[in-house]
Structure 1
Amino acid sequence: MPRDLKPFEGAAYGSYHGGGSAAPVQTIDLRRVMVALRRQRLTILLPAVLLGGLGLAYAMAKPETYSAHSSLLLDSNVNRSVQQAGGIDSAGLPSERIENARVVLESDKLAYDVLDRTGLQDNASFMDPPRSGFTSAIGQGISAVLRPVAWVRDKITLLVTPAEVGAPAGPVADSARMDPSIAPIDPRLRLAAMRLRGGVEVFRVGQSSAVAVSFTSHDPVIAAEVANAYADAYVQDILVTNADSVGQTNAWMRTRLDELQAQAQAAADAAERFATENGLVALSSGGLLTEQALNELNSSLTAALTEAARAQAVLDTYDRAVAGGVEGLTDSNSSLAIGGDVSEELRARLDTYNDVRARLQRLLSTSGPNHPQVAGLRRTLATTAERLFVELEAKRAEAQSTLDVANARVAALQQSVEQASQRNSAQAANLVRLRALQEEAATLSAIYQQTLTRSQEIEQQQSFPVSNVRILSYAQVPASPSGPAVLRTALAATLLGLFFGMGIAAWREWRDRALRTGDDLTDHSGLRFLGHLPVLPRVRPSRLRPVPAPQVPAPVPPAETPKGETLPVPSRARPPVIPVPVPVIHYPDSVYAETLRHVRLAAEAAGGSPPVTGVTSFHPYGGRSSVAFNLAGQLGVGLRSVLLIDADSRARGLSRMLGLDRKPGLTDAVAGRGDWKDMLVGIADTNLAVLPCGLEQGGASDDLLTGRILGQIAAEAGGDFSRVIVDVPPLYPVAQGRAILQELPQFLIVAEWGRTPRSMAETVLAEDPQLQAHCLGVVYDRVNLRHLRSYLMPEAMENYLSRSKDYLSLKGR
């Protein structure tokens, strides 16, 4: 059954130990998951069955219970006029308000209110409900277990608690009388409230704003009574709470109104006093007298400036007209125009002057200066110009007088504005302070009005007797029990056990990191898998069969003397023989024997004369010596002889197994205390000779040079033995095994099935590629073939170990 699915190569070796460039993608193999579930089926199903049966017994032993339901509508649709009068909000309730209602219904206060209504604390049936024998037994068992713990805790508390820890009874009693909320509660009442909270259940009805209150009890009458009492207590609690909160708010509002009124009046009085003290007279419009006077002066100054500018323009017009005198008017070639308002007399003179001048110009242009009428028109134009000039002079004097009056008014108004501005500048800080006081008074007045309006609304709501919570239905006495839910309890317990079993199975699978299948070795290392070695039965005396005794090495003739004479041949004593059976010889058709035959084929393929094979293990393991013994025994069948050497000077497992731990052997030969051939021990009825470990302890026998001595022994045994098997110390943690294997041409590794970690197969030879190249492979010892099937994939070839019964069996011959 050799397995070499992944030949050892440099690239493969690098990929096993992190030398690859990219790690493979981790995926979930469903086949491995199914195999693991099949393997752990008992671990998964056993807790499920046990807990399911326990849950079924518990549910069937419980007494019957009854559930009653009452429903409440948290957002009652009252009339719109009622909503407006009472200030009730009709908007849809958010989920938070429904959860708040749940918290209130499950609170201690409402539980005590229900007890006040029902008096259940005095009901013996409610305070001491019937209990199942199963529950009582469990409770008694738990109390019995915890009784010593409670006793120890009480003693420790008594020791560490000071004697003065308690307060005097007098102050506590006085405080309780002053504040009833801190008074101690009767234990019986507290127990009744705890039972109420444990039995009540509040849940939302669909997606509506209604909630249902359910109570479960062993008595159907108590269940219905408590459910209805909870509904009534909640409605009453809402009404009382709203009234109390509104009353407290209204009382605060009244106090706040008095404060605001006083503050607003004080602010108004302060503004009035400040205005009086600083001479800041206010008008009915709200402005100050000085500000209004300054505004009026600015308006008058603007009008005076406009009038002065207009008078200056009229004066300039008359100045241009009289600038040339009468001659200028007579010699002018253009008509004269004066804008603005002029008198009728001046307008007539201007028209006459312009008409005469125009006639003169036309006559000169048509008839020339020699025309007889030119002289007359010139005289007429001169007379008209003189009269017009006199009139213009008069008007100019009048315009000059008007301009002087306007300028004087402007100067006076400018002086008045400057004086008013100076007065306002002197009062600027006072004006700012006065405005701040007026704004403060106005703000406080507005706040007072708003608070007064809200206070009146709250007073109206306080006296309103309607809330937005009403009872939809009262609970009726249930006719049939609602519990216990036997099937549901058993199913829940079974599922809990199933999950618990799956957790244990997952933990066991996570902890199982041992070598069990060939894939565990070839997938995690570059070593070759050679097969499984199941546990062989004990060999009964009736199964012993004669096997030829081991051949004694023939004497070697001495070299001839120079004279041609021959020395006598010394005789060697036959080695002692011990009657120890070799199990594999008596079960030649077993899986164990077939695996050793694969090892033999691998060793013969490796070559060597004589073939020297070491047998080692990953870690200290006593079964390694048994494997070496069976391998040597099977190799001796049909051959001349086989030499088996115990090289493990620390454990001496092979020597102890054969009863040769007190015989001289390898360590004595290494120490030079005799010839190794004289220390051999034969196995009865086999061709097997054993070299024990020896009697020597420490010294040179534990030196790393033991490997070289073994090499010399193997070379010397080439003429007498066909094969040499060496029981080598483990690879870890001692170094002697590695030193010996360095001198051997080939070796076999024995791994204990289900005990050797996979990590050892990955790392034990990872740093020594040369030593790994000499390894024939790995065999698993003490394999349980029945359990092995639970670790195999459907396509694994190890499945044929249990199917091929015609070829492999434990039947002896």
Structure 2
Amino acid sequence: MAQIDRHIAAADWIGRSSIDRPPSSEPDKSAEIGDLWRILTVRRAWVLGTAALLTFIAVAYGFLAPPLYAATAQILIDPRDKQIVTNDVNPVAMAPDGGVMQVESQARVIESDSVLTRAARDAGLLDDPDFGGVGTGFLSWTLRTLQGEGAAPATDAAAEARAVRALRRRLAVKRADKVFVVDVVVTAGNPDKAARIVNAIAAAYLKDQTSARADAASRASSEMASRLDDLRKRVNVAENKVETFKAENGLITASGQLISEQQLAESNNRIVAARARTAEARTRLQQIKDARGSTAFGPDTAPEAIQSAVIERLRSQYAELASKEADLRTQLGNRHPFIEAVRTQMQDVKRLTETELTRIARSAETDYQRAVANEKALTANLDELKRGSIVTGEASVRLRELEREVDTSRAVYSNFLNRSREIQEQTGIDTTNARVISWARPPAERSWPLRLLLFVGGLVSGLGLGAGLAFVREYLDPTVLSRRQMERLSHTSVVATYPEFKAGSERPASVAASLTLDRLASVRGQIHPPGQALSVLVTSAASDTADRRSTIHLLAAVATARGERVLVVEADLEATPEENASGPGLIEVLRGEVGMAAAAKADAESGAARIGIGDLAKASREALSRANIEQFLAAAKSSFDLILIDGGVLTGNLRIGPLAAASDRLLIVAKNGATRQRDLLDILDISEVLGRPVSGSLFVDRYAAAA
């Protein structure tokens, strides 16, 4: 159905004076969300044409461009290096960020000049014309001449630089998230060449890493070797200081210790041993003295100090004699001579034992005196050594400080020497933990151009660019997009909204025309006496000529069907002769050559009376005077109920200005997406100048749904 607002009051569009009407504004370049689709629909030729052009270009490129093939090799880079030796030059611990930064750095190494130069040399790209090689053809010579390289001799450095630049443009090094695998992709016009170059880059990277590790170890070894000489000299200087200090202070060492300290320790040990021997001799002497005064004398009662072989034999003899005496006393009696002889022998044994004890006591006394004398001598020697140690104490402190310096210098020198030897051995060991897990193979399918992708990309980009051009075109030359925008621009209400005049829109268009006539009737009843006719001049922009005529024809048909007498007056002086009705018309009536009844003819389609424009050659200023026009309108109002005047394009039809000024109402027909805002504003300005401001507008909505 047509979009018709039945609640608009008639007073909203009753003619206003030019004093009350706001001044004309600039074109409204704003657009609502719903207007964007209308802009694209109206200017679809821009959108579709741009899309078709870009799609054609993309597809043509897809068929004409030489094919390119992409070969890929995958390299696994483990941030943890191989732990071959314990003290490696390179760290093996995992970085806090999981080694991702290290792998990213290695990916940049693959793109470095050193790796690409090695790969270009190994893959034979220095002489390849696709990678900057010097061709032998006339075209290559011409290009070199234009670039200023024709006379310059080609060098290996220049060829390598050109090959590296060309290779870098065709190289892509990528790494997926959360993996340590790096993809090396090279694009070339030949699949075998692409695979060969990728494999050369992978091999060059591994060789570069091995060489870099070896160079790092070699540099570290050289630096440590140069440092070893300084450390060796420092150790020699420290040792010479120690020896000089010992010689100056008489500090003699043996087995790493001062002689005086060794003597002091040994003297102290001897004193301890001497005191032990003295105590032992004193104890032994006392035991012997105690044993001599004891009456008991037997093997078990003799102390350990006087136990000797002689005493043991004498004790045995004494025991035998005592046993023999007891036997004889039992057999022979107590006074037998044999018993006396035995007793005499026993007395001799006691005397011999006492003599032996006296000898042992004198020997123990001698040993005790000797031990005491030895102890005193050792004590005196120790006191002397102590006094000498006190004298050399300060020198010993300085000596120990110098010896610590020697030990420190010697330890550092030893560590550097061992580390230097280890690093020298590591120069031939590769600790790089990187390997190629997938060598490149010649690709079977091209990687570029992808015709389907180009087609879709050209189509999408064309649609986007076309839409942008449509919006720019609309911004530069805006049209009326919506009913609200029409009301803002014209400062009047939209009387009714018509659907686009096409098949199937008859019913909603008739409803809109009926609403327009109702509002015209309400206005006529408010400002004119009852029964007096109303004259309405209808104008539009040049782009809306067909819609203006269709609207006038529809209003005439609906009004006639409602029983009203309708007169349609053609007042478009810019119409072509073919568009004018034959015979006398408005010009002749205004000139007084014919009467209105003779000029008016019945329209078979609408049923209304119709007066054509007449002979345009007679449209003089006198014929179109205000008096003639007012006289004509008065005569028409006396015979008809509604006079519809086709005012054409008012901006180009200024000669009918008196007719517009004499008309009761001025309606403007506009169509969204077709009526230029500039044309609409010009009509509004002209109507203000003519003294008949636009009373309302009839809006043709091409997007309104037909019933």
TM-score, normalised to structure 2, is: 0.49
- Look at both structures and tell me which one has the larger radius of gyration over its CA atoms: 2
Higher relative contact order (CA 8 A, sep 6+): 2
TM-score, normalised to structure 1, is: 0.44
